[in-house]
Amino acid sequence: MSVFRELKVPPVKDSWYRVNKERLSPDLIQKFVQLYPDEETKAFLSASIDKSSWVWTQIWYLLAKAVLRHFWSVTDINGWLGRGSMFVLSEAQARALLRPVSDNVGTGSLVDVGAGDGEVSRRFSNLYPRNYATEISASMRKSLAEKGYRILDTETWHHEGQFNCVCMLNLLDRCSKPKTMLRQARDSLAPGGVLMLALVLPYKPYVEVTADHKPEERLPIEGLYFEDQLASFVKFMREEAGFELVSWTRAPYLCEGDFAQAYYWLDDSVYVFKPTPDPLK
């Protein structure tokens, strides 16, 4: 499970979205979309602060988690308790990232692969009229169904038709076979479709469902700094995975907090990719 960075002293919120352009190539600078903490982001933070002060609710969470962790995964527990919701992009921020492909937004379908409780993609899912999701956790699938997602099988979702937007938001560092997942995403995209992807950097894969918590496939991401790892990942996507970068940004991966603090965060790199042309076609 990710260990979200503690906010003993809350940072200046704008710093969550900044990058060091001196460490970026001209092409990456050109495709960078500068975001800021907007009203929807601030509303999530405000709600998290409020929830962290609900004493009896937080006590109930602690007691329930202490008992259920002997039987269920953390994901299943959070789904059953309806807690631990996360936030990456607001609708306005998602629109800004998708602006270069705006002609293909507003029609067709979106599938959120490994959707959790659906709160991350729900904020911009109305950009597409039909919404699908996959999720291993039974309790999370129930939450997704209540939000109006059509649930697809985790093994065969990519055979269900072609999607205009495939979302893999903070999935690749939490699944056992990220390269396989990317191939499935590429195969399932409709003409003009895009892959919206979020990845926490620095890259530290952790797989909840494997015995050693290590992935069977590891992404070849290298570098010491955020920008170096980002460039390494984009290179892999272009040269091995068959995707061309359309736009990208840096944003906080926010999670509801607890008694200790109101919310937690990780550094997210967020991308829009389109598949490169197949030379055999």
Residue 131 inside a domain? The answer is: yes
C-beta of residue 270 within 8 angstroms of C-beta of residue 249: yes
| Cα distances (angstroms) measured from residue 235 to each of 22, 98, 220, 245 | 18, 21, 10, 9
Q: How many domains does the chain have?
A: 1
The residue segments making up the domain with residue 121 are 13-273
For residue 195, the domain's CATH number is 3.40.50.150
Residue 84 inside a domain? The answer is: yes
pLDDT of 62: 57
Residue 2 inside a domain? The answer is: no
What angle separates helix 55-68 from helix 74-81, to the nearest 10 degrees?
140
8 phi and psi, to 5 degrees? -60, -45
Looking at residue 217, its amino acid is: E
| Beta pairing partners, 264 | 255
Residue 3 inside a domain? The answer is: no
For 198-224, the DSSP string reads EEESS-----TTSTTS--SS------S
pLDDT tens for the chain, 281 residues: list them. Answer: 344 444 443 444 788 999 999 999 999 999 999 999 999 998 888 877 766 554 445 554 555 555 545 454 555 545 444 555 789 999 999 999 999 987 778 789 999 999 988 888 989 989 999 999 999 888 788 888 988 899 999 999 999 889 999 999 999 999 999 999 999 999 999 999 999 999 999 999 999 777 788 999 999 999 999 999 999 999 999 999 999 999 999 999 998 766 566 677 899 999 999 999 874 44
Q: How far apart are CA 47 and CA 123, in angstroms?
A: 15
Q: How far apart are CA 270 and CA 115, in angstroms?
A: 16
Residue 52 inside a domain? The answer is: yes
Q: How far apart are CA 38 and CA 90, in angstroms?
A: 8
Residue 58 inside a domain? The answer is: yes
The overall longest dimension of the chain from CA atoms, in Å, is: 61
Q: Give the sheet arrangement for strand 130-134, strand by strand.
A: 86-87, 243-256, 263-275, 189-200, 163-169, 109-113, 130-134, 150-151
pTM to 2 decimal places: 0.83
Cβ-Cβ contacts under 8 Å for 280 (sequence gap 6 or more): none
| Beta pairing partners, 199 | 269
Residue 278 inside a domain? The answer is: no
Characterize the bridge pairing of strands 130-134 and 150-151: parallel
Cβ-Cβ contacts under 8 Å for 13 (sequence gap 6 or more): 37
Residue 89 inside a domain? The answer is: yes
